[in-house]
Structure 1
Amino acid sequence: MGKKTPGKIEPVSAEHLEDTPPEKWLSVTDAHNAFTAERSAGLWESMKQHKRAVLWSLVISTSIIMEGYDTALMPSFFGYPSFIRRYGDYFPSIKEYQLTGAWQAGLVNSSNAGVIIGGFINGWACDRYGYKRTILVSMVAIAAFLFVTFFSPNAQVLAVGQILCGLPWGVFATIGPAYASEVCPLALRGYLTVYINVCWATGQLIASGVLRGLVNNTTQWSYRIPWAIQWVWPPFLFLAYVFAPESPWWHLRKGHFREAEKSLRRLSDKSDDEIRSTLAQMTHTIELEKEIQSGSSYWDCFKGIDLRRTEICCCAFATQMLAGAQFAYGPSYFFEQAGMTPENAYMVGIGGTALEFVGTVFSWALLTFFGRRTIFLTGISLLTVILFAIGIISAITNNTPAMWAQASLCLIWQLVYSLTIGPLAYAIISETSAVRLRAQTVVLARNTYNLMAIWCAVLEPYMMNPTAWDMKGKTAFVWGSTAAVMTVWVFFRLPECKGRTYEELDLLFAKKVSARKFKTAVVEPYAEERDVVQL
């Protein structure tokens, strides 16, 4: 394995950090001490010592509630009578109002287009200005852009409003996992990145409740009130974010050593010596990544060993859509096309979002006992089976019991998804991405999801719409096939990152360890040769 590298410089007391150059107090011995302490710290010990980091991670991630809320609104509006009469057209052949498949795809994809642009802006802005300033500007932007959506007189203006609102949503979707992974210790990293999906499910649950309460309202307020509710969040969150600490990792990447030390003191209850050791470990990790591969631009995500890390992050998020999310996350419209009344369809939809919330909470328990790879592989395998079961039932019969059987399977799909690949994708992208490329990699992963969402949103309405292909439940065969492909990818390409520090992950990727051997490989980041032994 090689001998440990001794600290070359005698540590300096943390009280003198302000007057001492960083190279005088960031010793390898301190870094190794912090590494050992982080690996050995338990869940409750970490929670107690980093309770303020937990709090700020939760607060920053709360912004995703707004994206989850709106994501549920638009697909559900397609089965909402008053919305369809306002923005759709009357079709004599079916004797009812409908939005055409093209307009359904257009309205969903306009927000996706905005989210993609907003995500790329976020990757650049976070690297240049930091997480805190970026999210503060985004809060002001969403409050302003909501006016366009709220007062939209037709589908064209509504599409423009969705594009504009998508810009800050793209920031919220990508800033949460990056910030959570940087302010929290190893023992809490998975739980707090997965919490992001709790926020997503919370937004969806709120939207389902609001929509169910207004489904029988025949006035314009039945769809304007759901939009107006989005103004509740920005003022409170903006005030909270004003007091949020910046990520210490961002400060160190920019060379702001004193500011990084201040952020660590605001985020934890560590002693002076522990603060010094943590700073040394963080700096050691950043320098290690520079040795392995330098650069911090989007282009660097596709170079050398970082290409594999980018592939894993992007494919993990793409799996969410290719597992049938577009089919199952707009269930009200699917249930109506299967023959349910709007009231029953929205009641089942509320049940689905409640299951999503419960499933995500219980996914924390799975994280305690099982690895990321195990949970993700099990989840995508089960989702594949459920989708094919829905398709088979639809192909065999179309009576009322079959309709409710498909609805039940759809709810089971939502529960399995929220227990496994839904929340786990956030932990995977946060852990797999390199520290110096975290913001950029998270953006690329999330935008891969958004591109898949655009493709799925174009295809799904045509498959489901009675004025187009009218496939109903047989649509599940399409998504079952794509889910099967991703199951194969997960088996061969998704590594196990549970319990690994960022230094260990850097070396595992640098040594090109097989995904199936990540769990058992022994890593010595502080040995002279920085060994990785594959067992």
Structure 2
Amino acid sequence: MSLWQGIKLYPKAIGWSVLLSTAIIMEGYDGVLMGSFYAYPAFQAKYGQLLPDGTVGLSAPWQAGLSNGVNVGEILGLFVNGIVSERYGYRKTMIVSLIATIAFIFVNFFAQNVETLLAGEILIGIPLGVFQTLTVTYASEVCPVVLRAYLTTYVNLCWVIGQFIASGVLRALIHRTDEWAYRIPFAIQWIWPIPIIIGVFLAPESPWWLARKGRTEEAARSLQRLTESTDTDFEVQNIVAMMVYTNELEREIQEGTTYLDCFNGIDLRRTEIVCIVWAAQNLCGSGLMGYSTYFYRQAGLSTDGAFNMSLAQYAIGMVGTVFSWVLMSYFGRRTLYLGGLMCLFVFLMVVGFVALANQTDATAWVTGSMLLVYTFLYDSSVGPVCYSLVAEIPSTRLRTKSVVLARNLYNIISIVNGVIIPFMLNPEAWNWKGKAGFFWGSLCFCCVVWTFFRLPEPNGRTFGELDVLFKQRISARKFSSTSVDAFQIRVAENEAASDGDENKGYAS
């Protein structure tokens, strides 16, 4: 199926996937909101304290606490989602999480002290953690192979859109001195949940989830709602049969759908890949983007200039994500991910060397400009491609739980980042400023080495073909060149079993 054929045949699937992915806007919005508030005068006056240098603001420990609060909540939400969504379905889990989001926003909106604000961040992190996995798994399960990369990486675009909106709102309110300077940004979070709830209520359930539950008739009806039924070449029952076949193939390869099964047999390799792929997002220095406004302030820019640079940064991020769709069509996932990490390593080292020079207005703007280039490179490679990889690599029976484990590793590293980055940038702590580029550049190089040896290319593969490639333990660097037919393999294995030859190989 060509890309245009996929768009014509699955326009409804595209629409429903885009709708559910919109929930990620809330995560991107909340992340930038708190990180930018550290450079926000009205917020600092309300929740800050007198610092040793005579200014009023949040200390590095409280910055780390608030930044990590949402990550702690997301870890809880992710583990709950891995169990609940597989039992009750994606739609019901999503609706309950959106209702919880509406309730938890009240805590932040009415918070009178920093302790209450921390509690609010932990609570709102729980439904945000659900969104992190449900959106990308739903996108991967409602579309054909040809659309899979575009709809899963769209999740990254939603994340950047949320960051851009948050920066724009904060930039517009920066000169307010009353409590509404920070309350209005919190209140804007109530805009998204209700329309998304209505959309999710009307959306079809994932046909893959229904097929795994043995509800094939419902899976067929769901699939029919995702497609343009006027196309006579499309046969719903055949697609459902493929889903059932793939599920049975995976059950034969490795029985079970628990978290423990993610670490057994060939699934251990798949779990390793999705976990490291998502962890690399945090290990390659992307945490600096979440603190970009504060980073720009500490680099020497004015408050207005810092917020202007942040707006430009997230606008560039949106352009980069769309550009990644073009790049993936030419280079695939593995090459683009590896090349992106290599480019990020170079730019992080450049930022570090610039910081060694005498700090002037010129060097501050150079550092800020390099972070803009970094953002474009990240959001046209590592950022969006990660979402495609974590949705494609796991088996269909363990996809939700594998993505939960991967995202939780990401969140754990985010907690570490949330502790050390404020200390790196805060003038009363380590005061590294741009020299932090050396630290993150070193970690980024380690990610480059791992990617070269361990990351396979899933581009153009069905879930059944990926199952066979992992079962045959094909080298990561040979995934794209290995030919495999899941149906012929099944027939050959049955014949081999009848002949007593269990060791015959069928992938070449």
Q: Does 1:44 align with 2:7?
A: no
Give the superposition deviation at 1:395: 1.2
Code of the residue aligned with 1:264 in structure 2: it is: L
> What are the superposed Cα offsets for residues 300-343 of structure 1, whole Å, 9 maximum, x if unpaired?
11111001111110111101100111112311101111111110
Whether the aligned pair in 1 keeps the contact of 2:469 and 2:507 (CA below 8 Å) is no
Q: Which letter does structure 1 place at the counterpart of 2:187?
A: A
- Higher alpha-carbon deviation: 395-404 or 270-279: 270-279
Out of 279, 292, 298, the position equivalent to 1:318 is 279
2:483 aligns with 522
Contact 1:314 1:444 in 2 (8 A): yes
CA distance in 1, matches of 2:288, 2:228: 46
* Equivalent in 165, 170, 181 of residue 206 of structure 1: 165
Residue type of the alignment partner of 2:168: G
Letter in 2 for 1:238: I
Which residue identity lines up with residue 295 of structure 1 in the other structure? Answer: G
> Secondary structure, in 3 states, of the residue corresponding to 1:396?
coil
Of the three residues 38, 42, 50, the one matched with 1:78 is 38
Aligned match for 1:189, one of 148, 163, 167? 148
Aligned partner of 2:321 in structure 1 is 360
Alignment correspondent of 1:454: 415
Asked if 1:67 is matched to 2:30, the reply is: no
Report the Cα distance in structure 2 between the residues aligned to 1:329 and 1:136, rounded to whole angstroms.
Answer: 28
Structure 1 residue 98: Cα displacement: 2.1
Residue 215, structure 1, aligned to residue 174, structure 2? yes
Question: Which of 288, 294, 297 pairs up with 1:333?
Answer: 294
Unaligned runs of 5+ in 2: 494-504
User: Which stretch of structure 1 is more off in the superposition, 136-145 or 325-334?
Assistant: 325-334
- CA–CA distance in structure 1, aligned partners of residues 354 and 340 of structure 2: 21
Matches within 5 A, 1:21-40: none
Amino acid at match of 1:183: V
TM-score, normalised via structure 2 length:
0.96
Distance, in Å, in 1 between the alignment partners of 2:219 and 2:300 is 58
Q: Distance between the aligned counterparts of 1:340 and 1:82, measured in 2? A: 18
Cα distance change on mapping 1:135 and 1:399 into 2, 3 Å = same
Map Cα deviations across residues 12-34 of structure 1 (whole Å, 9 max, x no partner).
xxxxxxxxxxxxxxxxxxxxxxx
Q: Contact 1:53–1:268 at 8 Å: present in 2 too?
A: yes
1:282 aligns to what?
243
Aligned to 1:35: none
Matched with 2:203 is 244
Equivalent residue runs for 1:3-402 within 5 Å: 41-91=1-51, 93-270=52-229, 274-402=235-363
2:399 is matched with which residue?
A: 438
Runs of 4+ residues over 6 Å off in structure 1: none
Structure 2 distance, partners of 1:511, 1:485, is 27
Q: Secondary structure at the match of 1:526?
A: helix
Deviation at 1:269, TM superposition (A): 2.7
Aligned equivalent of 2:499: none
User: Does the aligned pair in 1 maintain the 2:28–2:162 contact within 8 Å?
Assistant: yes
1:503-522 map, 5 Å? 503-522=464-483
Contact 1:318 1:452 in 2 (8 A): yes
> Residue 191 of structure 2: SS of its match in structure 1?
helix
Query: Contact between 1:320 and 1:422, CA under 8 Å: does it hold in 2?
Result: yes
Deviation string 1:79-108 (CA, Å, 9 cap, x unpaired) is: 1111111111112x4221121111001001
* 3-state DSSP of counterpart to 1:269: coil
After superposition, the C-alpha distances for 1:242-280 in whole angstroms (9 at most, x for unaligned) are 101000111111111111111111111355971111111
| Closer/same/farther in 2, CA of residues 395 and 277 from structure 1, 3 Å limit | same
CA contact (8 A) 1:522 1:532 kept: no
Where structure 1 has 5 or more consecutive residues not aligned to the other structure, the ranges are: 1-40
Paired residues of 1:252 and 1:283 also in contact (CA < 8 A): yes
Task: Give the share of equivalent positions with the same residue, in percent.
Answer: 46
Aligned equivalents of 2:506, 2:185: Cα separation in 1: 54
C-alpha displacement of 1:397: 2.3
Separation of aligned partners in 2, 1:517 and 1:397: 48
Distance 1:468 1:391 in 2: 18
Measure, in 2, the Cα distance between the counterparts of 1:532 and 1:61.
38
